[in-house]
């Protein structure tokens, strides 16, 4: 990682639905605060990718975000 590069997070979510295992891969980046911002909150933005399961192919990629309260 070089100075100025965003911090990247990767993790996997796994669960069971109707007896089948569903797996999702998440990738996110920490959003830097603006230099003149006021009352800014830490935030992570990213995408989630579903894996194929059973006879179903992987679905759509979706966006997600998390904001510290």
The confidence score (pLDDT) of residue 62 equals: 95
Taking CA 49 as the corner, what is the angle to CA 18 and CA 6, rounded to the nearest 5 degrees? Answer: 140
Q: How confident is the model at residue 45 (pLDDT cuts 50, 70, 90)?
A: very high
Predicted TM-score (pTM) of the model is 0.75
Region of 55 (left: φ > 0; alpha: ψ -120 to 50; beta: rest) is alpha
Q: Where are the chain's structural domains? A: 8-67
Q: How confident is the model at residue 68 (pLDDT cuts 50, 70, 90)?
A: very high
């Amino acid at each position: 990682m070089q100075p100025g590069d965003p911090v990247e997070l990767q993790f996997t979510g796994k669960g069971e639905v109707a007896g089948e295992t569903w797996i999702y891969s998440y990738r996110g980046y920490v959003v830097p605060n603006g230099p003149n911002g006021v009352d800014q909150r830490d935030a992570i933005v990213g995408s989630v990718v579903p894996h194929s399961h059973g006879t179903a192919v992987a679905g759509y990629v979706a966006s997600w975000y998390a904001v510290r309260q």
